[in-house]
Amino acid sequence: MRLTPTHAVILLVVVLLLFGANRLPGVARSMGQSLKIFKKEMQDLTGDGTSTSAPATPGPATTTSTTTPPAPGAPDPVATTAPEGSEVPPPPPAPPAAPRS
């Protein structure tokens, strides 16, 4: 089905009746800004996949059979926050330790 001039006129009359002549420029401006923002975000999303840096290759996996607790007063490496501007959120805080009996 094609949009004929008759359909366009009927659509224009319906839009004028719904929004009124006073609000129509504001509605058009708002839709134009929304479309502009949408196009910009789509370009940003498609641009994210084109990285110029070489992909990092994973090294051999190393595991340790035992772990030693950190020295008293030493900062917990897991509880440190992510660097500024990083997209990785910091880990949640550790639950309080149970009292020893």
Mean pLDDT of 15-21: 85
Q: Please write the tens of the pLDDT for every residue from 35-76.
A: 999 999 999 998 865 545 555 555 555 555 566 666 676 666
Q: Please write the tens of the pLDDT for every residue from 66-101.
A: 666 666 766 666 655 556 666 766 677 888 877 776
Residue from 83, 78, 81 nearest 94 by CA:
78
Between 100 and 8, name the one with better pLDDT.
8
pLDDT at 36 (0 to 100): 96
Residue from 98, 97, 64, 95 nearest 79 by CA:
95
**Alpha helix ranges (H) inside 1-101:** 5-47
**At 57, which amino acid appears?**
T
Residue 10's pLDDT band (boundaries 50, 70, 90)? very high
Give dist(CA 69, CA 97) in Å, integer.
Answer: 13
Between 59 and 9, name the one with better pLDDT.
9
Instruction: Report whether pLDDT(21) > 60.
Output: yes
